[in-house]
C-alpha cells in the first residue's frame, strides 16, 4: 500500500524551515513527505509567518487557497502552524473553518501526534484531542511542547546545505519587533544537542552549515550568563564534512571581536555576516530601542571590515518608522552610499500589535514609505553593480546549487541561499554535479548576478 502524502508548505524565514524539517522527520515513517510541492497530497500543513504585514498577508492568502481545496475535498486534512497561528489562533479559527487544526510555534510534537492519531484510525480520540486543543490558550498549548530535542530532520533544502537553528526567541526588545511576543524569550539549544544534530547533517552529505537564530551572538547567555557562540563555532569546526560554516542574524550590540577574528583566521567560516542595522539616525535608533547610536553603528561596521578584510556584509533597514523625518531618511541614504554594503534589503515599517512602536503615531504615509524603500534599493542596486564589476576577472570558489535553464547556478562564500547574488555557468561548458565545489573565473557582472567560467574542479578529500 502506498503511503499517504503530506505536503509541508513553509513560509517566512529559515527558522520556520527547520521547524518544518523536524516535523517531517517525525511523520516520515507513516507518510511520504513533500516540501512546498504542487503535487497532489493527502494532507497539507502550512507553516506560517507573522512577522510583518506583507508576511501575514501571504500566510493568510496561502491558508485560504488550501482551504478551498479542503472544502472541495481535494485534500483530506489541512493544518496551520507557526507564527501567524501563534498570534492569531482564535481569530483564524473563527474565520476559516476548513482548517482541521491550528497550532503555534512550539507545537511540532503536538501536530505530529494529532496527524498520527488519524493514521491509526483512532477517530474518537482524535476528535476529542483536536477539540480540546482548539479551546486552549496560547500558554496552555505551549505546555504540550516536547522538551526532548529532535535531532532528526527531513531536509527541504538541497542536500549539500542545511540550516542549524541554535536558539529560539529573543531577549532584545526592539520597539518594532513582534518576535519576542510570538516566540518568547531567548532559549539556547544545549551545545551537545547542536553538535549531535550537526554530526547527523554532515553524515547526510551537508557541506555548508548555516547557523541561524534571532540573535546569534546571544547564544548561551540564558544558560550560564556567558556568551558561547565562539565556543560553539569552534566545536562545529571539529566536525568533518563541512567546507563552509555561515553565520546569520547577529546583533551590533555586544558582537564579539573574537568571533570576527575566528572568521578571519579559519577559511571554513565564510567571510560573510548577516546583521540587520535597521537605521543610522540616532533618534530613530533610540526610538527603535536598538541599544546603539550612529557612532557605535559606524564603529561596528568599520571594526568588522578591519578584522575581516573582504567580508561581505548583509544588512537590512526599516524606513517609515514613526517620526522618521525627511532629513533622517536622507541621513540613512548617505550612510548606505558611504558604507557600500555588499548586500542590503529594505522594509517599509509595519505597525505590529503589542509592540512598543504600535503605541506611536504611524505618521509616515504608506506611499512615502514605498518611495523611501524604492530610493534605498536604487542606491543599493548601483552599489551592487559596482561591487560585482570589481570582482570580474577574479577566481572564486563556487558551490553549485542547481541547474536552471542553460546555466548551473552557484554561490560563493559571500552569498547565502535564496537572498544573495548567484554565479551562472553555462551547462554547455562542462559537466557539473549539484553540490560540487568548483573554481570559477568571473567574466561578467550584472546588478545581482555574475557569470563565470570553470577553471578546475576542486578535489575533495
Read out DSSP for 395-423? EEEEEEEEEETTEEEEE-TT--TTTS-EE
Q: Return the pLDDT at 17.
A: 95
Please give the mean pLDDT across all residues of the chain: 90
* 211 membership: H or E segment, kind and range: strand 208-212
Radius of gyration from C-alpha coordinates of the chain = 23
| 3-class secondary structure, 74 | coil
Q: Return the pLDDT at 118.
A: 67
Backbone angles phi, psi at 188, to 5 degrees: -80, 140
- The vertex-307 CA angle with 381 and 398, nearest 5°, equals 55
Closest CA to 311 of 412, 215, 441: 412
Which cell is 349 given? 515599517
Contact 245, 270 (CB under 8 A): yes
**Is 335 a residue whose pLDDT tops 60?**
yes
Which cell is 426 given? 553555462
**Is 443 a residue whose pLDDT tops 90?**
yes
Q: Report if pTM > 0.85.
A: yes
From residue 137, alpha-carbon distances to 35, 82, 110, 424 in Å are 29, 15, 14, 50
Angle between helices 53-71 and 83-95 (to 10 degrees): 50
CB atoms < 10 A from the CB of 451, how many? Answer: 17
What proportion of the chain, given as a percentage, has pLDDT over 70? Answer: 91
Please give the Cα distance from 252 to 297 (Å, whole number). 7
Please give the Cα distance from 299 to 284 (Å, whole number). 18
Closest CA to 187 of 140, 221, 211: 221
Query: Which position has the higher pLDDT, 127 or 325?
Result: 325
**Is 125 a residue whose pLDDT tops 50?**
no
Q: 110 falls in which pLDDT band (50, 70, 90)?
A: confident
**Is 126 a residue whose pLDDT tops 60?**
no
What proportion of the chain, given as a percentage, has pLDDT over 90? Answer: 80
Please give the Cα distance from 262 to 260 (Å, whole number). 5
- The vertex-207 CA angle with 203 and 210, nearest 5°, equals 105
Query: Which position has the higher pLDDT, 3 or 443?
Result: 443
| 3-class secondary structure, 320 | coil
Mean pLDDT of 243-264: 94
Residue reference for cell 476559516 = 96
Please give the Cα distance from 103 to 447 (Å, whole number). 41
Q: 455 falls in which pLDDT band (50, 70, 90)?
A: confident
Contact 390, 374 (CB under 8 A): no
**Is 142 a residue whose pLDDT tops 50?**
no
Residues 273/276/281/286 CA torsion (nearest 10 deg) = -120
Amino acid at each position: 500500500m502506498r503511503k499517504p502524502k503530506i505536503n509541508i508548505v513553509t513560509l517566512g524565514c529559515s527558522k520556520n524551515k527547520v521547524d518544518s524539517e523536524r516535523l517531517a522527520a517525525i511523520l516520515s515513517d507513516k507518510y511520504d513527505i513533500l516540501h512546498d510541492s504542487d503535487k497532489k497530497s493527502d494532507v497539507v500543513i502550512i507553516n506560517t509567518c507573522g512577522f510583518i504585514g506583507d508576511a501575514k498577508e501571504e500566510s493568510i492568502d496561502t491558508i485560504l487557497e488550501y482551504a478551498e481545496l479542503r472544502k472541495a475535498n481535494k485534500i483530506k486534512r489541512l493544518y496551520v502552524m507557526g507564527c501567524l497561528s501563534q498570534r492569531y489562533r482564535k481569530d483564524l479559527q473563527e474565520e476559516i473553518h476548513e482548517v482541521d487544526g491550528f497550532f503555534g510555534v512550539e507545537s511540532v510534537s503536538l501536530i505530529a501526534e494529532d496527524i498520527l492519531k488519524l493514521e491509526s484510525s483512532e477517530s474518537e480520540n482524535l476528535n476529542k484531542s483536536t477539540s480540546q486543543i482548539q479551546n486552549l490558550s496560547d500558554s496552555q498549548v505551549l505546555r504540550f511542547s516536547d522538551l526532548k530535542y529532535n535531532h532528526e530532520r527531513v531536509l527541504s533544502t538541497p542536500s549539500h546545505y542545511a540550516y542549524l537553528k541554535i536558539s529560539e526567541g529573543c531577549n532584545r526588545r526592539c520597539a518594532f519587533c513582534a518576535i519576542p511576543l510570538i516566540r518568547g524569550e531567548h532559549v539556547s539549544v544545549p551545545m551537545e544537542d547542536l553538535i549531535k544534530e550537526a554530526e547527523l547533517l554532515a553524515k547526510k552529505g551537508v557541506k555548508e552549515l548555516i547557523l541561524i537564530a534571532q540573535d546569534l551572538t546571544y547564544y548561551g547567555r540564558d544558560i550560564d550568563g556567558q556568551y558561547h557562540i565562539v565556543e560553539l563555532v569552534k566545536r562545529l569546526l571539529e566536525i568533518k564534512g563541512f567546507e563552509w560554516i555561515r553565520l546569520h542574524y547577529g546583533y551590533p550590540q555586544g558582537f564579539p571581536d573574537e568571533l570576527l577574528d575566528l572568521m578571519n583566521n579559519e577559511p571554513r567560516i565564510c567571510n560573510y555576516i548577516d546583521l540587520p542595522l535597521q537605521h543610522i539616525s540616532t533618534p530613530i535608533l533610540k526610538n527603535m530601542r536598538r541599544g546603539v547610536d550612529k557612532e557605535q553603528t559606524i564603529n561596528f561596521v568599520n571594526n568588522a571590515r578591519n578584522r575581516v578584510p573582504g567580508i561581505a556584509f548583509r544588512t537590512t533597514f526599516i524606513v517609515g518608522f514613526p517620526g522618521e523625518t525627511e532629513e533622517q531618511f536622507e541621513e540613512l541614504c548617505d550612510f548606505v552610499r558611504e558604507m557600500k554594503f555588499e548586500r542590503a534589503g529594505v522594509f517599509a515599517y509595519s505597525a505590529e500589535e503589542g509592540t512598543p512602536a504600535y503605541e506611536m503615531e504611524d505618521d509616515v504615509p504608506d506611499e512615502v514609505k514605498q518611495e523611501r524603500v524604492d530610493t534605498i534599493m536604487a542606491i543599493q542596486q548601483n552599489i551592487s553593480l559596482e561591487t560585482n564589476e570589481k570582482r570580474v576577472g577574479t577566481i572564486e570558489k563556487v558551490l553549485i546549487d542547481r541547474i536552471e535553464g542553460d546555466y548551473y547556478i552557484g554561490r560563493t562564500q559571500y552569498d547565502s541561499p535564496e537572498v544573495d547574488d548567484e554565479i551562472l555557468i553555462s551547462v554547455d561548458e562542462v559537466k557539473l554535479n549539484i553540490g560540487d565545489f568548483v573554481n570559477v573565473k568571473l567574466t561578467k557582472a550584472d546588478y545581482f548576478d555574475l557569470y563565470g567560467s570553470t577553471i578546475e574542479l576542486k578535489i575533495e578529500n
